[in-house]
Structure 1
């Protein structure tokens, strides 16, 4: 009651009625309190909805003490198509048909013993113009991955919150450090200067864990931005500021689990809202069991139903109420914040039929929206199984509806190849060649996320001990092959980190993101010479990529590596790019006649990194551990 009183007082003050005489103010306050207490509604989710959606069915969850004892109707003859009560009397799930309903308020009437107990307004808002036609990210984009707590502290006033348990303390490696949404907004120009067109932030919804809450994958309220990052309005503003720069925002969404501190965990709507076992059961992580025709049922069940960790309860997508809740939550965020895409965490840990239905519900509403799933597997067939319209999945009559997957097999190769100086049968650049030789498995190779690292892996500069030449080869590779390149924050200034030392080491604070930092790597003058070397190369590479349609959607032809030198072409009818990666320590000269089918009548090639020109008539020479990206000229 005290909390409600405070909220009402805040609202009362916000409407500027402070000048009303004190006793009259108290009378008004008590009146509003009586409405709130009698209403018995603590939460409504979704908190509001939108008129004119493709799917007119809307399931509204009302939560409050013994709310299920009421009968519910809607004013103005609005059709309630279903009312679900569960074993928990504190929940009511009310479904209405919004077809042809205008943007307006709906009055729900709650009766008990045929007497009106209270009414509750629910708002249908107007959608943005052409909202359904929004265009997601694609192969013309470069995605910049940020861990917001570690990127920049734009608003020190929200470093800690009264509503959340863990307080900010930069001296704790795995604690909250204070980075926030305002920090991202403040540095949009920096991100853009790298050639990035899309921002993927790890989750921003509230995570009220007592410790290690900074990663925010154990969410405690999926309709609320964590107050230590900002507000829902701040998140919407981030999308708006990015759109002003012709950039996009991708939300990191989690369908598989919530956090143990999620408010529902203290009062579950149904016992089977989450997967429960007699004793704690962790997933076996063997996602291959899903497609394995020889897998045992118990192994498959534990893979899908076991908890990721003890602090992350596993959601039961087979429960229709859960699945509908997740569908609507995702669509609400797209519509509310004006999002351009999702990256879905632990995608294939969730029930396959459930997560497929979740995905399709989104792409039915937004046909041009893109969703990339974390399919962390080490076999192309098992990854391709999960991409929409996969022929591999079709063998088992399965179609995930998932537009994009992450290329973890390429990531695996990148993690070793540039330390393998002697390319033999299965070493060095042959690994990359073999990766792309399996592209026939994917229904859409252009719509695959390619990356050298992310927030869960060793940093690439750690793997290669800050060898700048190896960094150049790595970035040139992911910038020029098929798919959508992703860059992890800080690598562009040489940041390294060893996962064996703990996750915090690969998620360090970006220098300059906090007042008092020794240097500010967000600006040229604040970067060290070494940081500028990394930054200048990265910026030039990816800004060039933005301009080249052959790299975006062109075809690819590659040639079997010889002497650890890998040559491939990206081309359209109008443009051709030739990439040569010499992964040997030795200088090499390659004869160009071998590549004539792609060089055709071109006489010269201009290196986009150095602006040097190369005669293609007979041979090309390049240094050991180096790369050429040649735009061919007639």
Structure 2
């Protein structure tokens, strides 16, 4: 054979072989589009891990795994683009595993999968509790730390600060840059509204309609930025609370566009709106159709309602939550629309997380207006036990207190059912809760009218509300901007209660993040809030002490927080006039104490004499 011709044939053969390899490789990569969770951890209580592989017609392959790891189950659904492989990771060391996808006993392609080592003592991580004050941030509206990520060509909605319902550019970097401001305020934990991707064409800034629950929205930053936020909080002795959504995703979620199973979301068929009647979850007289329409109906048309009664869905949500805790080193959850979930499914979800992390706190949004109905949802509720139900939810939100705070400081005269009696009556029902110290107390949040709008920035009324939140049982939560007098009217739309924090954007006329940048009025609000909540940080008697209160007289409410070592007396005069009262009425609580030091003014009050307190003002007395 001609030597040159032989060389040409050999070269052609090598090129053909290379082309075949490249073609096969491209097919291989195309075969798996997603793996969720993308990695897992060793030493977990949840050692049985369901790994979802997604790719075109991937169900046609048989699956095996390396390292003698046991496959417990392989689930293929009616959609050939999914395979759910459950493996047992118990006693498996941190390592790299290999999944092999075979056709006719021949390996078509492989996929590496990593089992990582957990952080030391991760299981027993400390969470937030009644010693904390939580600062709630509307993530898109707090501060724009990185203008370069304001828009993303891969995501539909672009930045538009002129649109109250548009994206404004707030991000994780903006939160990180202002953590010292938050700490100086007296907050010990931060709750940003959801940070995972939301690719809705409009209103995506609130991020409750998520399109990818394993990925931070690139307009907020990256997953690595979120890890950095946790690390920076922990450096300052602060905690990171993730806003988690179990009830629904957004209609742009990649999985909703190609459902693994028809019943992955609730279908009627298709869309049906929730009736929002959460009472049907426990009403012994409720009809089945009404209960179903609450639990299975969609919150809004753009939020497909997840079916937690489907075991694949439930396991997916449990693993996603645990993955974020472990990956981002989280300190707690707030769960959106908790009481709209499948009742049994959300109970299993919550128990799985608290089994994995026994100290992990989760507060559920149970937006109801009756203490018995809210207490039903707290872990070990005696009310839930009537029907043998336990949600396992450690904490709920005190919406009845919020309801009272919305109106009470405009009720200047103490009547039978108006004025401070509303606050008093709220606490008379504390016996309904199995753990009253672990409920969230607040005057407002990102879904309600702003306190300073309801009371027209009346500083004295703000003082009364914040004093109450700082000294009662539970975990106080402050909504960003209230500490500088920010207001917003819910009737004008959600955008009005979610204004940009002044100074969070380059070129802002006022920078309220600094004392010199704030106006005189803003400093008045800030200085009071900071003094109050920084005092609370070390006030153990407030964190865990008992409470004794006295029926309000003349619209003056007096209560005590006490333990074996300390007593704090709180007086709130909600009338317009100076009120004088005799201390002997409170002898049971004052006991042998002689004086009280007011932590706000620094004045010493003689407890042997009558006390006069001007209208719309407060005293917080450390008794001596």
Partner of 1:328: 319
CA distance in 2, matches of 1:181, 1:238: 7
* Aligned with residue 87 of structure 2, among 92, 96, 107: 96
* Aligned with residue 239 of structure 2, among 217, 233, 248: 248
Partner of 1:556: 547
Matched, 1:117 2:102: no
CA distance in 2, matches of 1:316, 1:539: 44
Partner of 1:402: 393
Matches within 5 A, 1:311-326: 311-326=302-317
1:526 is paired with a residue whose SS is coil
Q: Runs of 4 or more off by more than 2 Å in structure 1?
A: 27-37
Matches within 5 A, 1:534-573: 534-573=525-564
Go from structure 1 to structure 2 and tell me whether the alpha carbon gap of 1:486 and 1:36 turns closer, same or farther (over 3 Å shift): farther
TM-score (norm 2): 0.96
Matches within 5 A, 1:338-487: 338-487=329-478
Report how far residue 537 of structure 1 moved: 0.3
TM-score (norm 1): 0.95
Report how far residue 36 of structure 1 moved: 4.8
Partner of 2:518: 527
Which stretch of structure 1 is more off in the superposition, 195-204 or 29-38? 29-38
* Aligned with residue 607 of structure 1, among 598, 601, 615: 598
Partner of 1:155: 146
CA distance in 2, matches of 1:507, 1:30: 56
Go from structure 1 to structure 2 and tell me whether the alpha carbon gap of 1:29 and 1:400 turns closer, same or farther (over 3 Å shift): farther
2:240 is paired with a residue whose SS is strand
Report how far residue 284 of structure 1 moved: 0.6
Q: What are the Cα deviations for residues 543-591 of structure 1, in whole angstroms up to 9, with x where unaligned?
A: 0000100100100000000111000000111111000000000100111
Partner of 2:300: 309
Partner of 1:37: 27
Q: What are the Cα deviations for residues 5-64 of structure 1, in whole angstroms up to 9, with x where unaligned?
A: xxxxxxxxxxxxxxxxxxx9xx99996774353240000000100011012100000000
2:516 is paired with a residue whose SS is helix
CA distance in 1, matches of 2:20, 2:510: 55
Q: What are the Cα deviations for residues 205-240 of structure 1, in whole angstroms up to 9, with x where unaligned?
A: 000000100000000000000000000000010000
CA distance in 2, matches of 1:36, 1:567: 73
Matched, 1:492 2:483: yes
Partner of 2:58: 67
1:263 is paired with a residue whose SS is coil
- Quote the RMSD (CA, aligned, Å): 1.3
Matched, 1:235 2:207: no
Go from structure 1 to structure 2 and tell me whether the alpha carbon gap of 1:435 and 1:32 turns closer, same or farther (over 3 Å shift): farther
Matches within 5 A, 1:118-137: 118-137=109-128
Matches within 5 A, 1:73-222: 73-222=64-213
Partner of 2:3: none
Report how far residue 529 of structure 1 moved: 0.3
1:314 is paired with a residue whose SS is coil
Go from structure 1 to structure 2 and tell me whether the alpha carbon gap of 1:70 and 1:627 turns closer, same or farther (over 3 Å shift): same
How many residue pairs align between the two structures?
608
1:479 is paired with a residue whose SS is helix
CA distance in 2, matches of 1:279, 1:314: 10
CA distance in 1, matches of 2:42, 2:519: 52
Report how far residue 203 of structure 1 moved: 0.2
Partner of 2:573: 582
CA distance in 1, matches of 2:408, 2:19: 69
Report how far residue 77 of structure 1 moved: 1.9
* Aligned with residue 500 of structure 2, among 509, 525, 535: 509
Go from structure 1 to structure 2 and tell me whether the alpha carbon gap of 1:31 and 1:513 turns closer, same or farther (over 3 Å shift): farther
Matched, 1:49 2:40: yes
CA distance in 1, matches of 2:390, 2:600: 41
* Aligned with residue 226 of structure 1, among 204, 212, 217: 217
Partner of 2:582: 591
* Aligned with residue 295 of structure 1, among 274, 286, 290: 286
Go from structure 1 to structure 2 and tell me whether the alpha carbon gap of 1:74 and 1:548 turns closer, same or farther (over 3 Å shift): same
Go from structure 1 to structure 2 and tell me whether the alpha carbon gap of 1:74 and 1:431 turns closer, same or farther (over 3 Å shift): same
Q: What are the ranges of 5 or more consecutive residues in structure 2 without an aligned counterpart? A: 1-13
CA distance in 1, matches of 2:173, 2:139: 10
CA distance in 2, matches of 1:469, 1:55: 51
2:483 is paired with a residue whose SS is helix
Q: What are the ranges of 5 or more consecutive residues in structure 1 without an aligned counterpart? A: 1-23
CA distance in 2, matches of 1:171, 1:35: 48
CA distance in 2, matches of 1:399, 1:305: 20
1:249 is paired with a residue whose SS is strand
Report how far residue 119 of structure 1 moved: 1.0
Which stretch of structure 1 is more off in the superposition, 610-619 or 222-231? 610-619
CA distance in 1, matches of 2:361, 2:24: 46
Go from structure 1 to structure 2 and tell me whether the alpha carbon gap of 1:412 and 1:85 turns closer, same or farther (over 3 Å shift): same
CA distance in 2, matches of 1:55, 1:165: 37
2:91 is paired with a residue whose SS is coil
CA distance in 2, matches of 1:158, 1:260: 23
CA distance in 1, matches of 2:582, 2:59: 78
Go from structure 1 to structure 2 and tell me whether the alpha carbon gap of 1:174 and 1:603 turns closer, same or farther (over 3 Å shift): same
